[in-house]
Amino acid sequence: MYGNEEQRQLYARSKEYLEGDVNLPAADRLPELRSLLRYHEWRYYVANDPVLSDFEYDSLFKLLEALEADHPGLITPDSPTQRVGSDLSGDFTSVPHLTPMLSLGNSYNAEDLAEFDRQVKRMLNMDEAVEIAYAVEPKFDGGTIALVYENDRLVRAATRGNGVLGEEITHNARVIKSIPLTARFIQHGLHRVELRGEVIIRKDRFQQMNAARAEAGLTLFANPRNTATGGLRMKSPTEVAERNLEAFIYSFGYGTDAEGNDSVQALGTHTQALDVLAKLGFKVPAMGYERSQAENIAAAADFCELWEGQRETYPYEIDGMVIKVDNLALQERAGYTSHHPRWAIAYKFAARQATTTLLNVEYQVGKIGTITPVAKTEPVALAGVMISSISLHNEDFIREKDLRLGDKVLLERAGDVIPYIVKPLEELRDGSEQPIEWPVTCPINQTDEAAPLVRAEGEAAWRCPVCVCGAQNLQRIVFHVSKAAMDIDGMGRRYVEQFYELGWLKTIVDVYRLPYPEIAALEGFGDRSADNLRRSVDTAKQNPLWRLLHGLSIHHLGKKASQLIAQNVDHVLDLADWSEDQFLHIKDIGPTVATNVAAYFANPIHLEQLRELEALGVNVRPTEEDRPAATVTEGPFVEKSMLFTGSLQQLSRKEAQERALAAGARIVSAVSGKLDILVVGEKPGSKLKKAQALGTVRILTEEEFLALVGG
Ligand SMILES: NC(=O)c1ccc[n+]([C@@H]2O[C@H](COP(=O)([O-])OP(=O)(O)OC[C@H]3O[C@@H](n4cnc5c(N)ncnc54)[C@H](O)[C@@H]3O)[C@@H](O)[C@H]2O)c1
Ligand SMILES: [Zn+2]
């Protein structure tokens, strides 16, 4: 349909229009904008793979609308503003809809909605002060479907197609369980109806399906929307059934009685019409949850904002909300343009996808030398923020996606998830894209002395094994002073970076010999802050040994392992003489930690640093806090597991537990076959029942317990 070279130009030109870089007479801009929009409609509806965000597409659309408003004589009937985008593929029989299926106008905030409200009133010759009630519901992001029922039976289902003609997919609709094959419309005076709805797939089902496909080595579905629209067009209904599609019905398109007279309006409001559909067994947005009847446009806007905030936790993809004049007679009076109803509007949420150009890749070096590639892109708006820098995680990420410098890339940012690159747009390549050269040595220090990067088996990350440039040291110092390690109050990343820039911090040793008079002279410091900092550093010198060990940034040596090792030495430098095996003798220390710690202490530079730290007054021996709580070897409850339940009368729960510990017990949190003793206070609950049912648990009252621990 479109060649690659042509697509590249259409993409580049679209971005130029969006940047406001196009200066042509209106007579030339009009046809160009139309052909750009047609291209994007094709990417979106037919190829199912848009290259612009919806926001960008809508912006181009608005440019065209504005131009046409200024030059009404130049409007052509085939303009994208005059018809809806077509998804007719030719693979199915085309059938005419009973009434045209249109698009929706767009709004992005409460002001847009207020403007829409004013327009509706103008259209209806209503006073500005009169309030119109609106029905508001999610704008489901799937594939549109039109269902025709005659005499209470489903007789036809079709896609939206080009709005006038749809593709007939009745056999596929029949396997979608939420579409009833029969419904008692006649009870409501409806003999022939056309319903409109959206076919979608739950987000979790989508993920399960993709996980299963990945396992089977099949290509993955791009997103839930494509899975749903593609699902509707499967050749075999059994395949459709496997996709677990669902259909939300959101309105009547048409409805007549036995004589062929309209009988939808008699339902009164859109809200009541949906209530009827719900009663008839259709899946419609639930009142009070997914939909609301808003007394005026401000209330409608509030409901939209509420949903924008909770869209991530909703099980289905929605790209906005739809606001509809609730009264069906007013809808009828407001009417339609050739493109959308005048009585409804979409409220679009901020677009979560965007496309931009990958300009460069920079590399960050972490505290243990992990190299993280970061993409630098042409700045682009994504879900409300400007993005120009995105983590690429590791080399495999780059290779798997086949990213190249100069690529046009699709970005996504959903909810709290950090932005990421979904894929390069391969059809938009022109051959000038360059491979991303993965660094062989430290990317910060590209000299001969830099050692080659290493990648441990089974790990995704490349690391710089011996950093000579200091890039790692900076990260190590940041970690060293952080809460998790030496917890130096008042000395966060910002100061570390500042002192590092000034050359005062090269390694962690320098933390303990900072030039305080010079710090006091820094802008924003003064004597007091410098003094406070000195005090914090002095306090940290008395830290338990595990904090120092953890603060050395040894790969894989976490807090727990640091504590275990600190319990087992008299002086940190003892570790220089330890073999890997000795580390493994400590319960809960595994081989990875053993290897890494042994390697660290085999390095004379590190030993020298530790000697310097000791000379500067940093504690290098285990303290009281490092020692394990003395194990009790005598007492009534030695080696017994114990649990308290109900409220105790003479002791607090905490005091009772301390007594139990002192008497040798271990406190556990649940009743199980491993529980030895349950101490029962007043109003015990299910724990007592469970323990009695087990029959193996010794049950003590508070008095009995106190008697055993000696009062
Ligand atoms: N990114 C791109 O390149 C690109 C290209 C073309 C179109 N688009 C997007 O598609 C939009 C136009 O598409 P459209 O014509 O399908 O219209 P639309 O998506 O703006 O709105 C109409 C559709 O909304 C759906 N819908 C979901 N829930 C609904 C509800 N509760 N009530 C009523 N309708 C509901 C219906 O299926 C209906 O067909 C554009 O605004 C743009 O966001 C994007
Ligand atoms: Zn380096």
Q: Which two tokens stand for residue 52?
A: 């612009």
> pLDDT tens digit string along 123-143?
999 999 999 999 999 999 999
Give the DSSP letter string of 468-537.
Answer: SSSHHHHHHHHHHHSTTTT--TT--HHHHHHHHHTTS-SSGGGGGG--HHHHHTSTT-HHHHHHHHHHHH
Task: Please tell me the distance between residue 140's alpha carbon and the centre of ligand 1 in angstroms.
Answer: 9
Ligand 1 near 137 CB (within 6 A): yes
Which amino acid, one-letter code, is at 652? Answer: S
Highest-confidence segment of 53-57, 382-386, 467-471: 53-57
pLDDT band at 501 (very low <50, low <70, confident <90, very high): confident
Q: How confident is the model at residue 70 (pLDDT cuts 50, 70, 90)?
A: very high
CA atoms of 313 and 415, how far apart (whole Å) = 9
Mean pLDDT of all residues in 677-698: 90
Nearest protein Cα to ligand 1, atom 8: 54
Give the distance (Å) from ligand 1 centre to CA of residue 85.
9
316 Cβ below 6 A of ligand 1: no
> How far is residue 43 CA from its own chain's centroid?
25
Q: Domain-by-domain residue ranges, the chain?
A: 4-74, 94-348, 353-435, 471-615, 641-709
Cβ atoms of 88 and 161 within 8 Å: the answer is: yes
Contacts of 304 (CB under 8 A, 6+ apart): 110, 113, 136, 320, 321, 323, 347
The finding on whether 54 has its CB within 6 A of some atom of ligand 1 is yes
- The reply to whether 139 belongs to the active site is yes
Asked whether the predicted pLDDT for residue 76 surpasses 80, the reply is yes
Measured from the CB, is residue 103 less than 6 Å from ligand 1?
Answer: yes
Across the chain, mean pLDDT equals 91
C-alpha 282/C-alpha 147 separation (Å) is 11
Q: Would you state the CATH architecture of domain 641-709?
A: 3-Layer(aba) Sandwich (3.40)
Other C-beta atoms lying within 10 Å of the C-beta of residue 149: 23
Where does the pLDDT of residue 114 fall: very low under 50, low under 70, confident under 90, or very high at 90 and above?
very high
The H-assigned helical ranges of 139-260 are 170-173, 203-215, 224-232, 237-242
160 marked as binding residue: yes
For the residues 273-294, what does the mean pLDDT come to?
A: 96
Contact at 8 Å (CB) between 490 and 532?
A: yes
Q: Which CATH architecture has domain 471-615?
A: Orthogonal Bundle (1.10)
Position 170 pLDDT exceeds 90: yes
Q: What pLDDT shows up at residue 632?
A: 74
Q: Is the pLDDT of residue 665 over 90?
A: no
- Quickly count helices (H) and strands (E) in the chain: 24, 22
Please count the residues of the chain.
Answer: 711
For the full predicted model, state whether its pTM sits above 0.80. Answer: no
Q: What is the per-residue pLDDT across 193-211, written as a single tens digit (0 to 9) for each?
A: 999 999 999 999 999 998 9
For residue 77, give both structure tokens: 């009937």
Answer whether residue 698 shows pLDDT above 90.
yes
pLDDT tens per residue across span 31-48: 999 999 999 999 988 887
Number of other residues whose CB lies within 10 A of the CB of residue 46:
14
704 marked ligand binding residue:
no
- Please say whether the beta carbons of 697 and 661 come within 8 A: no
Q: Give the residue carrying structure tokens 């549109």.
A: 144
Residue 282 annotated as part of some ligand binding site: no
Q: What is the 3-state secondary structure (H, E, C) of 629-660?
A: CCCCCCCCCCCCEEEEECECCCCCHHHHHHHH
Say what the pLDDT of residue 685 is: 83
- Given a cut of 70, whether residue 415 has pLDDT beyond it is no
Pocket test for ligand 1, best of 322, 336, 410 (most atoms within 8 A of CB): 322
Least confident piece of the model among 82-96, 126-140, 523-537? 82-96
Q: How large is the average pLDDT for residues 116-123?
A: 97
Task: Tell me the mean pLDDT in the region 279-305.
Answer: 96
CATH of segment(s) 353-435:
2.40.50.140
Atom number of ligand 1 nearest to Cα 321: 31
Least confident of 108-122, 149-163, 381-395: 381-395
pLDDT in tens, 301-331: 999 999 998 998 899 999 999 999 999 999 9
- The distance in angstroms from the start CA to the end CA of the chain is 89
Read off the DSSP letter of residue 264: S
Q: Which CATH code for domain 94-348?
A: 3.30.470.30
> Given a cut of 90, is residue 624 above it in pLDDT?
no
Average pLDDT over residues 564-581: 91
Distances from the Cα of 323 to the Cαs of 38, 299, 312, in angstroms? 27, 11, 20
Confidence of residue 485 (pLDDT cuts 50, 70, 90): very high
58 annotated ligand-binding residue: yes
| Phi, psi values for residue 458, rounded to 5° | 80, 0
Residues flanking ion ligand 2, Cβ below 5 Å? 442, 444-445, 464, 467, 469, 471
CB neighbours (10 Å) of residue 178?
14
pLDDT at 367: 77
In this predicted model, what pLDDT tens digit does every residue of 422-481 receive, in sequence order?
Answer: 999 998 999 999 999 998 888 776 666 677 888 888 888 898 877 666 778 888 999 999
Judge whether residue 615 has pLDDT over 90.
Answer: yes
pLDDT of 364 above 90: no
Is the minimum distance from the CB of 317 to ligand 1 under 6 angstroms? no
Compute, in angstroms, the gap from residue 348 CA to the centroid of ligand 1.
10
CA of 636 to the centre of ligand 2 (A): 58
pLDDT at 447: 63
Give the β-pairing of 408-412 and 385-391.
unpaired
pLDDT of 352 > 90? The answer is no
Q: Would you list the DSSP string of 149-182? A: EETTEEEEEEE-TTSSEEEB-HHHHTT-TTS-SB
Top CATH class of 4-74 equals mainly alpha
User: Is 56 marked within a binding site?
Assistant: yes
Shortest-distance Cα residue to atom 29 of ligand 1: 139
For residue 446, how far is its CA from the centre of ligand 2 (angstroms)?
A: 8
